[in-house]
Amino acid sequence: MSKNKAAQWAKSKSTGDTPIPLMETSAKDAIKVESAFIEAAKLALAQETADNDIFIPDTINLNNNQAKPAGGGGCC
Q: What is the pLDDT of residues 2-19, one digit of tens each?
A: 888 988 888 888 777 777
**Mean pLDDT of the region 63-76:** 64
Domain ranges of the chain: 24-52
Q: What pLDDT score was predicted for residue 20?
A: 80
User: Residue 14, Cβ neighbours under 10 Å: how many?
Assistant: 12
Q: Percentages helix, strand, coil for the chain, rounded to the nearest 5?
A: 40, 5, 55
Helix, strand or coil, per DSSP, at residue 31: strand
Alpha-helical regions (H) of 1-76: 3-13, 33-50
10, 20 in Cβ contact below 8 A? yes
Quick: pLDDT tens for 22-64.
888 999 999 999 999 999 898 888 877 665 666 777 888 888 7
